[in-house]
Amino acid sequence: VDTSVRFMIGEKVKFITHCPECGSKLIRYEGEAAHYCPNETACPPQIKGKIEHFISRKAMNIDGLGPETVDMFYRLGLIHDTADLYRLTTDDIRGLDRMGDKSAENIIKGIMQSKEVPFERVIFALGIRFVGETVAKKIAKSFKDI
């Protein structure tokens, strides 16, 4: 970087050191620019992000669920992790904001249908660091099942 063409009156960029949501000290992996919140089990954006990845089209492809629904279910305490999705019932969902009988049935149907996705998509859905679609396919091909 050629600093001779910069204005020298500028301030250095100060990165935050703690997660603004849960207060955990942020970490930065060597060789990477981004800072991460390591609190995967108690930081709401981390939890909701993992669930949103899990339900996505390239992962479990759960019809009827999206970020807004995940957020609502999380706020109401219906889900705290991906496993909780499989414990939901139509009675849990029916009567919630914008959720009638048909919506509840469609969500539960989508969750049940997700049990039929190929093994490589289940591996990808877990959100393991550095395991994208291609690596998930290679793992699934090597191990066949759990």
Over residues 94-139, the pLDDT tens digits come to 999 989 999 999 999 999 999 999 999 999 999 999 999 999 999 9
**Once rounded to an integer, what is the mean pLDDT over residues 64-87?**
97
Residue 58 domain-assigned?
yes
Residue 67 domain-assigned?
yes
CA quadruple 52, 54, 57, 59: dihedral, nearest 10:
160
Specify which residues 25 forms β-bridges with.
Answer: 18
Match 């001779």 to its residue by tokens.
4
What's the pLDDT score for residue 119? 95
Residue 51 domain-assigned?
yes
What's the pLDDT score for residue 7? 66
Q: How far is CA 78 from the centre of its chain?
A: 16
Residue 94 domain-assigned?
yes
Q: How many domains does the chain have?
A: 1
Within a 13 Å sphere around the CA of 60, how many CA atoms are in the beta-carbon half?
27
Q: How confident is the model at residue 45 (pLDDT cuts 50, 70, 90)?
A: very high
CATH number at residue 78: 1.10.150.20
Residue 3 domain-assigned?
no
pLDDT value at 146 more than 80: no
**What Cα–Cα distance (Å) separates residue 68 from each residue in 64, 102, 124, 141?**
11, 18, 22, 34
d(C-alpha 42, C-alpha 32), whole Å: 24
pLDDT value at 39 more than 70: yes
d(C-alpha 21, C-alpha 46), whole Å: 10
Structural domain boundaries, residue 48: 44-143
What percent of the chain is modeled with pLDDT above 70? 91
- Interior angle at CA 93, CA 88 and CA 95, nearest 5: 160
Residue 5 domain-assigned?
no
